[in-house]
Amino acid sequence: MPASADELSQDFFLTGVGGQILNNGQLLMLSLDNTTGGSGFESKDTYLFGRFDMDIKLVPGNSAGTVTTFYLSSQGSNHDEIDFEFLGNLSGDPYTIHTNVFSQGIGGREMQFQLWFDPTLDFHTYTFIWNSVQIIFMVDNIPIREFKNRESDGLSYPNKQPMTIYSSLWDGEQWATRGGAVKTNWTDAPFETFFKNFNGNACVVFPNGISSCDSKTSTSSLSWQSQQLNSEGRSYLRWVQKHFMTYNYCKDYKRFPNGFPPECRSSKSH
């Protein structure tokens, strides 16, 4: 069930204080200052699998301490979650993209990247492809990470709990920039992030538990359901992870002195 990119207000509602829907619904702005505590939005629908694209233009200048998020999450202590978090930095220093996957309440699967462009100068497209086979994180249609379904190896995978789309702009100065060493400079506030061109080609789960994908739908519109990386996609993934990955939990020996999590040992790609 594709969602329209024309009217963001049809797909989302604002949360917190300081967010605005502009340009007749085609642009959404989140704002942060030292009085509001941040702003956000969430989707009106919940989903179980889909492709989700959003164009985002991040906080420019000295964005140290700020965190912009775009993620999927279910509810409860055993929740599932798929994260993009954009960690601000001092002027001239690169943003860090923090990614994570939670399944049945267990996360800690962080990978971080620095981009090959300045994400504050223009809009760029950030994508989740979430199907029963794997999760693919993409930037401008270039894969940066994949997380595979390894239930056959006894590992959990987020495939049973419908998730809502969330986004927020908040103050994470205690940890976001250089581990919290650089604090938010409130004299540069308000900090603003912009969103547009949302595309959600996904299975909507209705209040009665029925999925929109249970009915007949053209296979062309649901090509993401079985999508995996082809040889070109794998080449891009290797390029990104070789040159732009700055942290991989599966290579953090200090964090896991007694052995890496089982999914790290199952495959080179996670």
Can you give the length of the chain in residues?
A: 270
Asked if 213 and 226 count as a contact pair (C-beta separation under 8 A), the reply is: no
Helix locations, the chain, DSSP H: 8-11, 231-243, 262-266
CB atoms within 10 A of CB 18: 20
Catalytic one among 81, 146, 173, 263? 81
242: its two tokens: 């070789």
Burial of 232 (0-12, 13-18, 19+ CB in 10 A): exposed
Q: How many CA atoms lie within 13 A of 195 on its CB side?
A: 32
Sequence-ordered list of residues with C-beta below 8 angstroms from that of 53, at least 6 positions apart, any chain: 125, 126, 127, 197, 198, 199, 200
Backbone φ/ψ region at 208: left (φ over 0), alpha (ψ -120 to 50), beta: alpha
Query: Identity (one letter) of the amino acid at 66?
Result: T
Catalytic one among 7, 42, 85, 192? 85
85 is catalytic: yes
C-alpha–C-alpha distance, residues 75 and 98, integer Å: 21
Residue with tokens 């992030």: 193
DSSP count for the chain of H helices, then E strands: 3, 14
110 is catalytic: no
**Residues with catalytic roles:** 81, 85
